Amino acid sequence: MKLSGYLLIFGAACRAAAQLVNPNNNTFGNVFNFWTRNGDAWDLTRRNATNAITLPLAHPAGHVTIQPASSALVIIDMQNFFLHPDLGGDPLGRALVPTAIDMIHAFRANGMKVFWTNWGLTESDLLSMPPAFFRGFSSDGTSATSFGSDMGTIQGNISVGRKLMRGSWNAQPFGDLFDEQVEGVANGTDFYFNKNRLSGMWGTSTPMQTFLEENMITTLFFGGVNIDQCVWGTLLDSYYKGYDVILVDDISATTSPAAATGMVDFNAALNGWRANSTDILPTLM
């Protein structure tokens, strides 16, 4: 048989499969990757209903049903550099920590993974970093205080380390989050991924994306700082790459004007969904 004949047969098989998956036009996607809608409820399990969880979302979004084995919570940039008060960290971000920890515990309790994706640069990253990023992370308008610069000490004996370099104190999770991350990684429930851009999913592939693909994780919940920068960048790149994206508003914050958060909220609801811990924790707990 000629190649054209095989292609015709393959096309017909795909159309038949699509009709089986989507008999009433309530399925969105394709035979390999799809959501199913029933009124204001969305099923993201891709027909793997084992231990599925249905979570209420803020009005008028309805509900989403997720598959725990293919879902994860992504905590972004809740690091000393951005949150510690002695480094001028954001008090709004610090206020999120207890709620973020509640979400972490709830996800673990339901067998869902927790991802930490934070700035953690290497010497190689500094060699290839674009000038705009060096300018954006300069403390005084010169390159001498940007990425990789020595940040000195605080409280007399804490070596802050080089700015956002992998393994430095300023790049580790803030406060009780650090203990949560260390414990979670040790227990195999949590996974830590360094990043070298605002987005933890930037580029053709990243360590986190590779892990997602190898473990067939498709549904991602996002929180952290700043909501309009690194959280938004990671969510948006995940959306571009075909993942289900759910922004958790009350574990996300920013130092930017209110309009920046408004933009993220509006677009996150278009790209996926928005949620609050107050809506979903009672179900998860």
**Structure tokens belonging to residue 239:** 């959306």
The 3-state DSSP class for residue 200 equals: coil
Q: For residue 9, is pLDDT > 60? A: no
For 154-194, how does the pLDDT look when each residue is reduced to its tens digit (9 = 90+)? 998 999 999 999 999 999 999 999 999 999 999 999 999 99
Q: For residue 197, is pLDDT > 90? A: yes
For 104-126, how does the pLDDT look when each residue is reduced to its tens digit (9 = 90+)? 999 999 999 999 999 999 999 99
What is the DSSP track for 148-171? T-B--EETTTEE--BTTBTT-GGG
* Reported pTM: 0.91
* 113 bridge partner residues: 72
Q: For residue 243, is pLDDT > 70? A: yes
Q: What is residue 59's predicted lDDT score, i.e. its pLDDT?
A: 67
Q: For residue 22, is pLDDT > 80? A: no
What is the mean predicted confidence (pLDDT) over 16-20? 49
**Structure tokens belonging to residue 258:** 């209110």
Q: For residue 11, is pLDDT > 60? A: no
For 128-150, how does the pLDDT look when each residue is reduced to its tens digit (9 = 90+)? 999 999 999 999 999 999 999 99
- Could you give the dihedral angle defined by the CA atoms of residues 171, 113, 62 and 225, in that order, rounded to the nearest 10 degrees? 0
Separation between Cα atoms, residue 93 and residue 85, nearest integer Å: 11
Separation between Cα atoms, residue 221 and residue 114, nearest integer Å: 10
Q: What is residue 259's predicted lDDT score, i.e. its pLDDT?
A: 98
| Residue 120 contacts residue 200 (beta carbons within 8 Å) | no
Separation between Cα atoms, residue 118 and residue 227, nearest integer Å: 14
Separation between Cα atoms, residue 284 and residue 105, nearest integer Å: 9
| Residue 231 contacts residue 76 (beta carbons within 8 Å) | yes
For 257-283, how does the pLDDT look when each residue is reduced to its tens digit (9 = 90+)? 999 999 999 999 999 999 999 999 999
Q: What is residue 174's predicted lDDT score, i.e. its pLDDT?
A: 98
Separation between Cα atoms, residue 199 and residue 203, nearest integer Å: 9
Separation between Cα atoms, residue 129 and residue 148, nearest integer Å: 11
Q: What is residue 6's predicted lDDT score, i.e. its pLDDT?
A: 44
What is the mean predicted confidence (pLDDT) over 230-237? 98
Assess whether the previous peptide bond of 48 is cis (omega < 30° from 0). Answer: no
| Residue 173 contacts residue 84 (beta carbons within 8 Å) | no
